[in-house]
Amino acid sequence: MVSNGIETRLVNRVHSKIVIGDDNLLCVGSFNWFSASRDDWNARYDTSLIYRGTNLNAEIDIIKSCLQQRLLQS
């Protein structure tokens, strides 16, 4: 992702996956996009929600502030 210009961060003790796109896209969820089991026996019910719109700035700022306190690397 970094080689494609995507900024990433590692944070301590956060299970949710969060994607912020500019200031008008927010995706939050528990789904393990890259390591989720694809077989029926091990399948779990994990979800992610995508929010779009111009009114997300305050919510994005709150999330960034909370994550900043748990930052492992910069």
pLDDT digits (tens, 9 = 90+) for 29-39: 988 777 766 77
The token pair that represents 12 in the structure block:
């301590």
* First vs last C-alpha separation in the chain: 15
pLDDT above 60: residue 69: yes
pLDDT tens, 8-32? Answer: 888 898 888 899 998 899 999 988 7
pLDDT tens, 37-48? Answer: 677 776 777 889
**Cα 24 to Cα 53: distance, rounded to the nearest angstrom:** 5
